[in-house]
Structure formats: C-alpha cells, structure tokens
Structure 1
Amino acid sequence: MTRTSFMTRKELIGFLILAAVIFVLLPAVLDSFRLNLFGKYLTYAFVAVGLALCWGAGGILSLGQGVFFGLGGYCMAMFLKLEASTPENTSIQSTPGIPDFMDWNQLTELPVWWQPFYSLPLALLAVVAVPVAFAFIIGFAMFTRRVGGVYFAIITQAFAAILTILIIGQQGYTGGVNGITDLRTLLGWDIRTDEAKTTLYFVNGVLLFAVLLIAQYVRKSKLGRLLIAMRDQEDRVRFSGYNVANFKIFIFCLGAAFAGIGGAMFTLQVGFMSPTLVGIVPSIEMVIFCAVGGRLSILGAVYGALLVNWAKTSFSEAFPELWLLGLGGLFIAVVMFFPNGLAGLWSEKIEPQLEGLFRKSKPVEPAESAAPSSRAAAE
C-alpha cells in the first residue's frame, strides 16, 4: 500500500496563498471596521471546513451546524458575561453579582450550571466539549440506526429549531431573544477596542489554519479514504468489515468541534451571542458557504465563507430589501454552473489554462543536429 503525502506541492501553494490573503493582503487594504467584519467572516469558515469534511468527504449533509456554532458561542459568552457581572458593575440591580437579564427575570441567585463558567479553562473546554457531546448524542442515535441522506438533514434542521425555541423560551437563564450581550473584557482585556478587534482577527486566522491542518491530516489519512469510500459505496465498506456508524460519528463530532471554536471566536470578535445564530436560517447559510467554495475542498470552503459573507454585506448595504434574493441567486448560479464551487472552477477551468500558458511561454531548447555529429564521428 502506498502512503499518501500529507500535502502535495499544489496544496502547499494553496495554503500559502490563503495565508498571504488572510495575514497580509486583507490587513493591508482594509480599515479596522472592515477588518473586523472579515474577522467575523473567518469565524464562519470554521463551520465551512467542518462541513467540507462531513458533507464533502463523508457525504453527511447537516443542516444544523448552527447548533454547534451557537453552543460554542454561548459557552464563551457565559464566561464573558460573568466577568462583566461583578457586584461592583451590577450594584444597581436587585441582586448584584448575577447577569442583568437574570435580575430582570427576578432570579435571585446564579444557576448551578452557570457556576463552572467563572473559570476560563473550563469555559474553553466547554467550547469544544459541549458541541461534541451534542453531536455524539445525535450521531449515535441516527447513524447506528443507519439514518442518513435527506432524513438526517431534516432531523438536524429540527434540532436547530428546537434549540432556538429552547433558548428563547428560557429567557431568565439564556437572555432570551436578545441573547447574551454587553460583553466587555477577557481577563481584564477590553475586547471592544479597535486594537483588540485586530488582534482577535489574527487569532482567528491562526486558529483557522490549525483547524485546516487537522482537516488536511484527516483527508490524507486512512480515515479520509474510508470516508470517501463510504460516501460513494457505503454498503461495500460495511461488508468489508468496517463499522461505518463509528466513522460517521467521529467526523460529525469533529465538524461540531470546529463549529464550536468558530462560535466562541464569533462571540469574542463581535461581542455578543444570540439565538438568531443558532437556528435554521444560519445553518442553511453555512451550507451555502461550503457549497459556493466547493464542498470537496477545505480551502475552497474558507474562500466560500469569505465571499458569501462579503457579498451578503455588500448586497445588504446597497439593496437592503433585495439582499436575500441576491444571496439566493448566487447560490443557484454556483450550483447550476459550477457544481464543485470555486475550488472546482479553479481546478477544472482556470488552472489548466494557466498551465497551458506556462508551457507555451517556456522556451524550448533547440536539439543539436544529428548530421554534424555523424560527420564528426566519420572523421
């Protein structure tokens, strides 16, 4: 059996180009406000990369990735809210020392399940562990019963709706429809300043590349090859003796972990977390990010998240009432004309043209004439 290299030359160049875009080009050409917007876009790229593994490699279409994005975001928001809710900052409340929305809803003490979030290490652990735990429960319940395809997609969408309703209904514990807002500091560091937003943008970029390297390792490993085999011929893989359900559960949980990290970084970058980022609509938008970029490419998923969110912002600024139509039109156009997304457009159309131009422009060294050599030999 031949071993697959971790990264080909073309893939390395792709990683370097993306690094140049994120760490050099965008900071050089954008002001602090726009750079903060792209920092928010990068948080969605975490979800898109996870979807590229689940959907692109494993054939698992999840329409509920907003659940894991929101859970990670809420875990981080809970820590930040507790840090902002010191007795001194909340002295005007009926019950100082608890978040303001709890006081408004006449709670007199902090719920027990909030108390671990006084600790940053526990909060960071929860950012990954809570989405993974939810993903494991869903995956184990579905995949061990061989539920897949459109049925699995609908079930994950239902979970997104259920969690949204639960968060809104438990206003005294979650902030309700407003979410958790007025987040100020991280261990005393003011996250609301332009300098902090810029720093968080670069932290986003570094974490995103760590996630990309993990995803690249999975794609090139035996697990990655098995995922592709399961996507194309699941029954054949099962008859070969592999436990297909376990592999699906693992990759689904990995995608949830990526989404949870993205949600936590969104909370830090933007300064709030609300149920509008958990439900059905944001979950479908996250699938659009992956589809536009190319669900078979982890780098394409990142570009898709950046492009779609930039287009969404541009459409909403120029045409406030029509931006949803524009976003939908972009998705339809990509699906109809470029089914493999931006990555497919590059590999199938643009890259061959560039290689052809490169070969034509490369000078051909003239071959030495054979006749003089023959004469020289005769002499």
Structure 2
Amino acid sequence: MSPSLFSRPAWTGILACAGILALLPVLNLAFEPGHALHVSSYTVALVGKFMCYAIAALALDLVWGYTGILSLGHGLFFALGGYAHGMYLMRSIGKDGVYQSHLPDFMVFLDWKEYPWYWSFTDSFWYAMLLVVLVPGALAFVFGYFAFRSRIKGVYFSIITQAMTFAFMLLFFRNNTGFGGNNGFTDFKRILGFTITEPGTKAALYLLTLAALVGSLFLCRWIVTSKLGRVLQAVRDSESRLMFIGYNPLWFKLFVWTLSAILCGIAGALYVPQVGIINPSEMSPGNSIEMVIWAAVGGRGSLLGPIIGAFSVNGLKSWFTAAFPDLWLYALGAIFILVTLFMPQGILGLAAKLRQPKEAA
C-alpha cells in the first residue's frame, strides 16, 4: 500500500494534526486576548475556511487523482452547496433585516412580493441540508450521465465543465433569479436559533467542519482501497482495456463524479456560515482552477496531498494578498508551473523521495 494510504507515520501525523486543529477553538474560548495561549477568532475562522477548501480539494482528488477525470467546474458544486445553506440562513434572519420584512433585504429592494417557488420549505434547516446534498448531486448526475455516455473525456470534458460553471455564474449574477444577484447572500443572524457571531457558535461550526474533513478523508480512503477503487484507477490508467474485460466504466465514473460533487456541496455549506457570505464569484472558473492547483501542489492521487495543498496554497495566499495584493495571481501561476516542472508528484511526492535512501553510485 502506498505510504499515503496510510503508513504508521501518516496515521500519527493525521491524528496529531486533527488534535491540534481541534484544540484551536478551545484555546480561543478558554483564554482571553493577550494571553500567550490565546488563539484569535480570526485565526479560527481562517483555519475553518481552509478546512472547507481541503474537503473540496479531497473531493476533486477522488475524480482527478484516482479516476483521471480533470474537472474545471468543481467550484460550481461548492457554491451550490453554499447557496442551499444560505437560503436557510437568509430566512432565519426573520424581520431583523434593514427593511424589517419577512423577505430578505435584496428581495424587498427589488420589489419582490413573495418568495419564488424554489425557496419553499427553506426555512427548515433539515430541508436545506437535503438541498445541500441533492442540488449539486443531481446536477452532477445529469451532467455526468450525458457526458460519460457520450464518451467525452480529457481536455474536452475539462472545457465543458468550465463552461458549465461559467454559465451558472452568469445566471446567478442576474437579479431576477432570486439569489441576490452580484451581492449574493450575507448579513446572516442565526443558525438553529443560535446567534451566528457568538464564539460558541463559531467554535461548533469549526469543529463540525473538522469532523466533516476527517470523515471525508476516511470515506475516500475506504473507496480507493476497495475493489471499487481499483476499478476507478483502471478507468484512469486504461479505460479501453477495462471495457475489453467486461466492465462498463459509465456507472463507476458517474458514481465517483456524483459523490465528489456532493462532498463539494457539503464543503460549501460549511463554508458559508463561517465566512458570512456567498455570491456568484464563488462559481468563477478561476476558483475551480485553484482547486486543481491545490491538488497538484499537494500531490494528486494521494488523498492527503490535496489537503496539504489546500492549506499550503491558501495560507500563502492569505499572506501574499496582504503583503503584495496585486501580485497574487502571478505568484499562483508561477507556483503551478514550478510544481508541474520540478515536483510533478507535489509536496507529498517530494517528501517521499527525500525519505528514500540514496541509491549506490
């Protein structure tokens, strides 16, 4: 078994990292600002956001690293999960908005008189959570069925996924769609009756995100080390040979593609209450391309690599955009080029090479 799936040091590292991450909100609540052990609320929120990105990167690795399907549209599934949860959060505002109406402020401003039909029942948290799973999952299933049945693959599949997310971004930018236009959803007040800005609520959301990340990692590991995982890797390595021995790749690809979209939707749903906003810019093709970079930098086809990549790239982005805000896109492009040329297996692959004893001359 590959060291990334997982050797004893890898398990030790996973448990240690999970323990450290779980400790951050505890230190935030237990110690006052200024104390040596205090962790700022900003740091907790930032790491919580990174964990959402890590779930999305892990979902992408399942289809790209293990099945050979390069998607440039996973940002769409991430955003749809966020919008599904955001609809519940907007309805939870009640009459505490600027216009003191039962409708969200953006609907009052645009002279809407009632909720559109697709907002029905979104005042229920559990219905909204069902939408988080069903909306990206159903879209992925329908899109994937027709794409895979038509034998679309490689760069052509990547292009149409990018076109799909761009089309949805343009749709959600329109004010008449009922999703807030270019401003999207924001100014959330409550979740399940708890004030969303309370430190305890933020800590609970953070720990729930950590649990989702660990659960997603274990689920993906179980899939890729099973017989199903071996079939998926066969699809990646030689789909025509797999068909020759009697397998129909369609349903295997469709399963992993749909599951990956659902995991992205869950990541988006966890992202929105912690960041406090969701708008169509989350669907931009650039965001989907960044997910690919996370997986590539960390090491695709390893599960742990994309998680490492998501934390590394976004940590660097947080520092770089503060120090050199106009240069981040150039730096991101340079990172991708350098990794492609000199670290094709990413950070995890480089670490594995360094651990190997040098061959005798």
C-alpha contact 2:79 2:283 (8 A) present in aligned 1? yes
**What secondary structure, in the 3-state scheme, does the structure 2 residue paired with 1:23 have?**
helix
Unaligned 5+ runs, structure 2: 28-36
Residue 138 of structure 1, aligned match among 127, 136, 143? 143
**Superposed CA offset, 1:123-176 (max 9, x none):** 111111110101001100100111000000000000010000000014460000
The one-letter code sitting in structure 1 at the alignment partner of 2:49 is K
**Superposed CA offset, 1:92-142 (max 9, x none):** 45xx31111111111101111101211111111111111010100110010
1:32 and 2:36 aligned: no
How far the C-alpha of 1:14 sits from its partner, in A, is 4.1
How far the C-alpha of 1:347 sits from its partner, in A, is 1.4
How far the C-alpha of 1:76 sits from its partner, in A, is 0.3
How far the C-alpha of 1:23 sits from its partner, in A, is 2.5
How far the C-alpha of 1:13 sits from its partner, in A, is 2.9
Describe how 1:218-297 pairs up with structure 2 within 5 A: 218-297=223-302
Describe how 1:1-379 pairs up with structure 2 within 5 A: 8-24=7-23, 30-84=39-93, 86=94, 88-90=95-97, 92=99, 96-171=101-176, 173-349=178-354, 351-352=355-356
The separation in 1 between residues aligned to 2:269 and 2:96, in whole angstroms, is: 24
**What secondary structure, in the 3-state scheme, does the structure 2 residue paired with 1:276 have?**
helix
The one-letter code sitting in structure 2 at the alignment partner of 1:69 is F
The separation in 2 between residues aligned to 1:119 and 1:337, in whole angstroms, is: 50
CA gap 1:97/1:274 in 2 versus in 1, 3 angstroms: same
How far the C-alpha of 1:194 sits from its partner, in A, is 3.5
2:33 — aligned with what?
Answer: none
How far the C-alpha of 1:249 sits from its partner, in A, is 0.6
Q: How many residue pairs get matched?
A: 345
How far the C-alpha of 1:7 sits from its partner, in A, is 5.3
How far the C-alpha of 1:314 sits from its partner, in A, is 0.5
**What secondary structure, in the 3-state scheme, does the structure 2 residue paired with 1:46 have?**
helix
Bigger mean CA offset, 30-39 vs 182-191: 30-39
**Superposed CA offset, 1:209-264 (max 9, x none):** 01111001001111111111111111000111111011111111111011001000
The separation in 2 between residues aligned to 1:300 and 1:193, in whole angstroms, is: 33
CA gap 1:91/1:179 in 2 versus in 1, 3 angstroms: closer
CA gap 1:8/1:184 in 2 versus in 1, 3 angstroms: same
Unaligned 5+ runs, structure 1: 357-379
The one-letter code sitting in structure 2 at the alignment partner of 1:352 is Q
**What secondary structure, in the 3-state scheme, does the structure 2 residue paired with 1:332 have?**
helix
RMSD: 2.0
How far the C-alpha of 1:8 sits from its partner, in A, is 4.8
The separation in 2 between residues aligned to 1:153 and 1:340, in whole angstroms, is: 21
CA gap 1:91/1:71 in 2 versus in 1, 3 angstroms: closer
C-alpha contact 2:99 2:105 (8 A) present in aligned 1? no
The separation in 2 between residues aligned to 1:173 and 1:251, in whole angstroms, is: 31
C-alpha contact 2:98 2:105 (8 A) present in aligned 1? no
**Superposed CA offset, 1:62-94 (max 9, x none):** 00001100000000000000010x2x425845x
How far the C-alpha of 1:17 sits from its partner, in A, is 3.7
CA gap 1:293/1:97 in 2 versus in 1, 3 angstroms: same
The separation in 2 between residues aligned to 1:25 and 1:195, in whole angstroms, is: 13
Name the % identity.
Answer: 41
Structure number with greater Rg is: 1
The one-letter code sitting in structure 1 at the alignment partner of 2:343 is F
How far the C-alpha of 1:21 sits from its partner, in A, is 4.3
**What secondary structure, in the 3-state scheme, does the structure 1 residue paired with 2:86 have?**
helix
1:366 — aligned with what?
Answer: none
The one-letter code sitting in structure 1 at the alignment partner of 2:92 is E
C-alpha contact 2:24 2:44 (8 A) present in aligned 1? no
C-alpha contact 1:71 1:263 (8 A) present in aligned 2? yes
The one-letter code sitting in structure 2 at the alignment partner of 1:32 is S
